[in-house]
């Protein structure tokens, strides 16, 4: 089948139309611009009243978010940074969840002007991994200590839903012995792939998809059209409603994102909020996570370095802060696109997930295992630190690394986890599971330096746990002490 026929077959107009309201989608550009223009009263009293709402773990309105985006007083921004950090602590405590990306193919039918994968880029070496190659990639990821991955695919008939499902089965099947001699395996697979039909998404649900991630890239329609001139991705609304279809397919953990640098960053933050709002309106559940990658230089892409909307570090910290305040119960992902200094700084204002030991070339992990040169990448990586190096740095900052996937396997997903996050309950369970999985990591993978600082951090965690009424009242202290002892003695994958 040629790619044009495949694209025509993939897109189902009725699976767009069913979500429209009076024939319109939820991105009203005039309304967004008006909100930004009409909410420039950024008095300290007004801003602080909005911050109080964030501290109560309530989603901000469009007008309130626009007000925060218009703040120009740098002293006020310092207050906002502090409140964002406190909101993160109240909902997620001091834990940071880690994952590794696994790129399975870079064949693509799209012509995205910012991406090294686009089909016109003759400099890209094209490949789709075989099952055996996926096993080798997974083996290396496990050797670093990871327990969850996000699998990434180009948009192409050779990496369709059937291929994705088979590749997920392969990843889940891989077992590798850790330093302690225990079998390690991937406990959760999230998926970043092309927008799909409800029928195809049900197939991924059956093989154990975690979070389904599709980034709109830009919510500004003319910019979207210019950046995506041809291919499956050229259809703005097919992409816009990809996560609505996932909800209808029974996948209740979805992830949104924008590629900052294509259009005005304030507009894109508002677009993300409108996206979260429509998911909540139509399904009662907002996004599980929000991502905010910035344009970085990509192979053969002039736009990736010449866009007039490139976001500087100062504004990047601001946009992450506003997202944390606007949707206080939603996870925020900062990737290895950013350099270590930026990542360490932005983590302080509310990020909850990071990647590390990241390789984004096709088959790049296996090349690293054999000290071979990596092929050209989709975009530029800014943080090349190993997982252990990042874990060590975070421990110095008082943040505990979590490899927990318990909530998903206990059914704390979708509307259930949202309610638990809003009340702060999920964070308390996650604190216990973070300690357990961190103990696993220290024994199985950590360097001696990281193990030393990690064990001091665990002592502090237990001091807090033993003094919290929640754990006493719910009779969880004996459980965590028992599980911790058993993991220290060699058991694995115990969770609350």
pLDDT at 420 over 60: no
Sequence-separated (6 or more) residues with CB below 8 Å from residue 350: 84, 85, 87, 88, 320, 321, 323, 324, 332
Q: List the single range of 94-103, 138-147, 370-379 with lowest mean pLDDT.
A: 370-379
- Helices 29-38 and 265-283, axial angle in degrees (round to 10): 120
**pLDDT score of 376:** 54
Model confidence at 380, pLDDT cuts 50, 70, 90, reads confident
Q: Give yes or no for residue 377 having a pLDDT over 60.
A: no
Mean pLDDT of 92-96: 93
Determine the pLDDT at residue 124: 81
Q: What is the pLDDT of residues 138-182, one digit of tens each?
A: 999 999 999 999 999 999 999 999 999 999 999 999 999 999 999
For residue range 152-163, list pLDDT tens digits in order.
Answer: 999 999 999 999
If you average pLDDT over every residue of the chain, what do you get?
A: 93
What is residue 398's three-state secondary structure? coil
State yes or no: pLDDT of 398 exceeds 90: yes
Instruction: List all residues 6 or more positions away from 69 whose beta carbon is below 8 Å from its beta carbon.
Output: 36, 266, 269, 270, 322
Per-residue pLDDT at 123: 80
The pLDDT of residue 125? 85
Backbone Cα Rg of the chain = 22
Using CA atoms, how far apart are residues 437 and 268, in angstroms rounded to an integer?
35
In CATH terms, the superfamily for domain 3-24+87-380 is Aldolase class I (3.20.20.70)
pLDDT value of residue 233: 96
Q: What pLDDT sits at residue 424?
A: 60
E strand intervals along 155-246: 176-177, 183-184, 188-192, 209-213
Percent of the chain with pLDDT over 70: 94
Q: Mean per-residue pLDDT for 90-101?
A: 94
Q: How many CB atoms lie within 10 A of CB 423?
A: 13
Residue with tokens 């790129």: 103
> What per-residue confidence (pLDDT) applies to 230?
94
Would the pLDDT of 367 be above 70? yes
3-class SS at 355?
strand
**Six-digit token pair at 231?**
């291919």
| Closest residue by Cα to residue 269 from 212, 319, 213, 339 | 319
Tell me the C-alpha distance between 14 and 11, whole Å: 9
Model confidence over 185-237: pLDDT tens digits? 999 999 999 999 999 999 999 999 999 999 999 999 999 999 999 999 999 99
Beta bridge partners of 176: 184
How far, CA to CA in Å, does 66 sit from each of 61, 220, 469? 9, 16, 38
For residue 494, pLDDT over 80 is answered with yes
Residue 3 predicted with pLDDT over 90: no
Provide the residue ranges of all domains of the chain, joining segments of one domain with +.
Answer: 3-24+87-380
Least confident among 302-306, 383-387, 467-471: 302-306
pLDDT at 66 over 80: yes
139, with CB counted inside 10 A (0-12, 13-18, 19+), is: middle
């Amino acid at each position: 089948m040629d790619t044009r026929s495949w694209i025509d077959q993939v897109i189902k107009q009725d699976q767009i139309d069913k979500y429209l309201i009076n024939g319109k989608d939820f991105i009203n550009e005039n309304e967004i611009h008006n909100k930004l223009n009409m909410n420039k009263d950024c008095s300290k009293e007004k801003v602080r009243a909005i911050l109080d709402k964030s501290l109560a773990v309530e989603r901000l309105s469009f007008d309130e978010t626009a007000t925060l985006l218009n703040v120009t007083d740098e002293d006020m921004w310092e207050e906002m940074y502090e409140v964002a950090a406190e909101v993160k602590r109240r909902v997620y405590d001091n834990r940071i969840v880690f994952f590794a990306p696994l790129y399975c193919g870079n064949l693509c039918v799209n012509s995205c002007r910012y991406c090294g994968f686009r089909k016109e880029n003759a400099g890209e070496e094209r490949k789709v991994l075989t099952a055996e190659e996926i096993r080798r990639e997974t083996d290396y990821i496990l050797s670093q200590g990871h327990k969850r991955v996000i699998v990434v695919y180009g948009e192409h008939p050779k990496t369709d839903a059937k291929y994705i499902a088979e590749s997920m089965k392969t990843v889940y099947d891989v077992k590798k012995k850790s330093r302690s001699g225990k079998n390690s395996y991937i406990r959760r697979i999230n998926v970043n792939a092309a927008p799909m039909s409800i029928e195809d998404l049900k197939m991924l649900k059956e093989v154990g998809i975690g979070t389904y991630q599709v980034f709109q890239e830009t919510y500004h329609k003319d910019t979207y059209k210019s950046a995506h001139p041809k291919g499956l991705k050229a259809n703005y609304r097919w992409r816009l409603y990809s996560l609505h279809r996932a909800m209808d397919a029974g996948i209740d953990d979805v992830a949104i994102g924008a590629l900052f640098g294509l259009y005005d960053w304030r507009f894109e933050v508002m677009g993300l909020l409108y996206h979260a709002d429509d998911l909540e309106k139509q399904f009662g559940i907002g996004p599980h996570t929000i991502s905010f990658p910035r344009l970085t230089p990509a192979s053969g892409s002039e736009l990736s370095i010449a866009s007039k909307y490139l976001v500087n570090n100062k504004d990047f910290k601001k946009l992450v802060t506003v997202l944390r305040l606007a949707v206080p119960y939603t996870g925020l992902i900062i990737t290895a696109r950013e350099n270590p200094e930026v990542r360490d700084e932005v983590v302080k204002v509310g990020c909850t997930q990071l990647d590390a030991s990241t390789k984004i070339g096709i088959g790049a992990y296996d090349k690293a295992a054999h000290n071979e040169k990596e092929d050209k990448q989709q975009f530029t990586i800014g943080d090349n630190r190993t997982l252990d190096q990042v874990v060590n740095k975070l421990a110095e900052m008082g943040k505990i690394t979590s490899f927990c996937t318990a909530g998903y396997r206990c059914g704390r997903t979708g509307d259930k986890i949202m309610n638990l996050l809003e009340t702060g309950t999920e964070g308390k369970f996650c604190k216990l599971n973070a300690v357990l999985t961190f103990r696993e990591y220290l024994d199985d993978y950590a360097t001696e330096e990281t193990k030393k600082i990690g064990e001091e951090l665990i002592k502090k965690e237990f001091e807090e746990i033993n003094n919290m009424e929640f754990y006493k009242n719910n009779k969880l202290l004996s459980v965590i002490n028992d599980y911790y002892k058993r993991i220290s003695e060699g058991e694995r994958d115990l969770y609350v």
